[in-house]
Amino acid sequence: MLKIGLTGGIGSGKTTVANYFAALGVPVIDADQIARELVTPGQSALQAIVSAFGPAAVDSTGQLDRAWLRARVFNDTDIGSGWRQRLESILHPLIRAEMQRRVQAIMEDGHAEYCLLGIPLLVESGQTDLVERILVVDAPEVLQRQRVRERDKLSSDAEIAAILHSQASRRQRLMAADDIIVNDADLEKLRQQVLMLHQRYQSLAVAN
């Protein structure tokens, strides 16, 4: 089965694009969603995070304290990047294994022509072997910042800048792309691009 990796920088529009594909009946596997499931209380990933970062990584109810962790992991220093690498070394192999398990389940189900794997750090984490094609959602950085600011009222400009800095540059991502969606206008233009790509992927899946 044809597997398309969907990626893009923070606030580029990945989730919106994934939702449009899902509305067309395309199975979407979302690495962020898997990551959230992996760190729920009782999961071994949460225990590994507490062992690595200490008990402050969870709040008084035993949930991962995301704001605490984000402030450290996206702190633009060597210590911050060391923390980020540790966190990624815990989560990435588990996310990868779960995505592979879900791809297998979709294949066994036998109904889908192709599926989408939404992996924000696809290019950075060297997981491009999981997919046959890479679809990049690209937006000007000023729009990325503005959309994230409007969506996450709590994110400070410094936090957004640190996350942008930790990710691949637009150029690096575009160099890895087989297909590009340019998200620099309204939602209708975005949806039209998804419709065109859906047709393209359906024909590629048949040719496969």
The H or E element containing residue 29 is: strand 28-30
| Near ligand ATP by CB under 6 A: residue from 4, 11, 83, 103 | 11
Tell the smallest beta-carbon distance from residue 163 to ligand ATP (Å).
8
Q: Do residues 5 and 135 lie in contact, with contact meaning Cβ atoms separated by under 8 Å?
A: yes
Question: First and final CA of the chain: distance in angstroms?
Answer: 8
Fill in the per-residue mask, 70 to 109: x = in contact with ligand ATP (CB under 6 A), - = not in contact. Answer: ----------------------------------------
27 belongs to the binding site for ligand ATP (CB under 6 A): no
Q: Where are the alpha helices (DSSP H) in 39-118?
A: 44-53, 66-73, 78-109
Fill in the per-residue mask, 114 to 153: x = in contact with ligand ATP (CB under 6 A), - = not in contact. Answer: ------x--------------------------xx--x--
Residue 151 phi/psi, 5-degree rounding, is: -75, -50
Question: Looking at beta carbons only, is 16 or 166 nearer to ligand ATP?
Answer: 16
Count of residues engaged in binding ligand ATP, rule: CB under 6 A: 16
Q: Distance (Å, rounded) from C-alpha 37 to C-alpha 44?
A: 11
| Near ligand ATP by CB under 6 A: residue from 187, 195, 196, 206 | 187
Question: Looking at beta carbons only, is 13 or 48 nearer to ligand ATP?
Answer: 13
Burial class (CB in 10 A: 0-12, 13-18, 19+), 94: middle
Q: Which two tokens stand for residue 27?
A: 């199975």
8 belongs to the binding site for ligand ATP (CB under 6 A): yes
Q: Distance (Å, rounded) from C-alpha 48 to C-alpha 30?
A: 22
- Interacting residues toward ligand ATP by CB under 6 A: 8, 10-16, 120, 147-148, 151, 183, 186-187, 190
